[in-house]
Amino acid sequence: MMIRLTPLVLLCLLGAPALGQDLFEQSNDLLVREIDGVYRRGLGYLADTQDSRGCWPDTSYGSEPGVVGVAILAFLARGDDPEFGPYRVHYKKAMDYILKAQNQKTGYIGSSMYNHGFSTLALAEAYGLTNDLRLGPALQKATKLIVSSQKGNPKGGWRYSPESQDADTTVSGAQMVALFAARNAGVKVPQEAIDRGRAYLISCQDSSGGFGYTTASGANLPRSAIGSLVLSLAKDTDSDAYKNSVEYLKKNAKFGDSGHKFYSLYYTSQAIFRTNASFWNSWNSQNFKRLQSTQVDDGSWNGSYGKTFCTSAALLSLALNYRYLPIYER
C-alpha cells in the first residue's frame, strides 16, 4: 500500500521538523540569504543549458538518467513549486526524460544501478510535491527493483547491474538513500532490505570509522560520508559504527576529495548536517565560501562527470540550508 502525500499534507508534515531545526537556523540567516544568490545562479545555468529532450549535453554524463535525477533534486531543493514555479518547464522535461528511461516491465531506469538509485531518489522526492499521477507507479516499480536486486545478492548490497553478485559501498549507498526516500514517500520497503544493506555497509567499515569500497580497506571521504549518512537515516546514531563514522568525518572532511570533489561534497554535506550544530555550521560556512569563490560566471562548477553533475551536486551540498526536501530533514 502506498500513501500519497499531497503538497498540502507534505507542507504540514514539514512544518514541525523545520521548527525543530531552529538550532541550525539561529545564526545562519545572513548566510542563507547569500547562499540563495549563489544557488539561483546555479539553477540559472541548469535552466539555460538543458536541451529539448530534458537532459544536458555538456558531456555524455549529462544524458544519464542518474545525472538528470540529481539535477531534478537541485531544482526541487530550493522549494520552488515544480508545477507553477520558475523552473516548472525544466523540471517537467527532466522528469519526462527519467520516466521515458524506465523499463515499464522491470522498473529499471537507465543502464546502471547508479542511474537507477539517483533516479529513484528523484522520483521519491518529487512524489507528493506534484499532482503527476505517473510518479507513484514509477516509484513503486523502481523501489521493487532495488529490493529484488538485493534479494539476489549474497553480499546484501548492490553493484552495477540488478543481477550483480558482488557489492560496493557507493552503489549500495545510492540504493539505500533511495529506499529511505521511497519509504518516506509512503512506499512499503521491507525492513529486511534496510537491515541487510546496513549490515553490508558496516562490514566495509575499518577501525578508524571510515568506509572502504568493497571491503574495509581503502577508506576515503566520499565512501565514509555515504556510510555515515546511511547509518543516520537508519536511526542508528547510538551505535559505535555511527559514532566512529562521525569521528572519521571530523578528522577528514575537506573541500574536495581526489578527483571526485563534487560527488564527495554531495554526500559529505548531508552526512555532516545530520551530526550536530557546531560541526555543521563550521562545515557549511567553509563549504559556501569555497563554492562561492569557485562558481564561474555562467553559474556552474566543473569537474569529474561534467558541469551538469558538478553544478547540481554543489547546489545540493548547499540546499540543506533550505531543509525543503524530506530526505534533508534532520
H or E element in which residue 118 lies: helix 113-126
CATH topology for the 7-328 domain: Glycosyltransferase (1.50.10)
Determine the pLDDT at residue 11: 37
Helix (H, G, I), strand (E, B) or coil at 220: strand
Backbone angles phi, psi at 282, to 5 degrees: -65, -50
Instruction: Name every residue whose Cβ is closer than 8 Å to that of residue 83 and which is 6 or more positions away in sequence.
Output: 130, 131
The helices-and-strands tally (H runs, E runs) of the chain is 14, 0
The answer to whether residues 248 and 219 touch, using CB atoms and an 8 Å cutoff, is: yes
- pLDDT tens per residue across span 293-305: 999 999 999 998 9
Answer whether 36's CB lies under 8 Å from 216's CB: no
Give the per-residue pLDDT at 259: 66
Q: Which residue has the cell 568506509?
A: 211
* pLDDT at res. 290: 95
- DSSP state, residue 127: T
In this structure, what DSSP letter does residue 109 have? B
* pLDDT for res 220: 95
CA-to-CA distance for 169 and 226, rounded, in angstroms? Answer: 8
Return the closest-CA partner of residue 223 out of 235, 237, 208. Answer: 208
In this prediction, the residues of the chain whose per-residue pLDDT falls under 50 are: 1, 3-27
Q: Report pLDDT for 165.
A: 98
Calpha distance 135→91 (Å, rounded) = 13
Query: If we measure between CA atoms, which residue out of 322, 260, 259, 321 comes closest to residue 287?
Result: 321
Give the SS3 label for residue 305: coil
Domain spans in the chain, listed from the N-terminal domain onward:
7-328
- What whole-number distance in Å separates Cα of residue 209 and Cα of residue 219? 9
End-to-end C-alpha distance for the chain, whole angstroms: 26
Which residues lie below 8 Å from residue 320, measured CB to CB, with a gap of 6+? Answer: 269, 270, 273, 284, 328
Residues in the chain: 330
Q: Which residue type sits at 188?
A: K
311 with 70: CB under 8 angstroms? no
pLDDT of amino acid 13: 34
With contact defined as beta carbons under 8 Å apart, do 288 and 317 qualify? no
**CB–CB of 304/318 below 8 Å?**
no
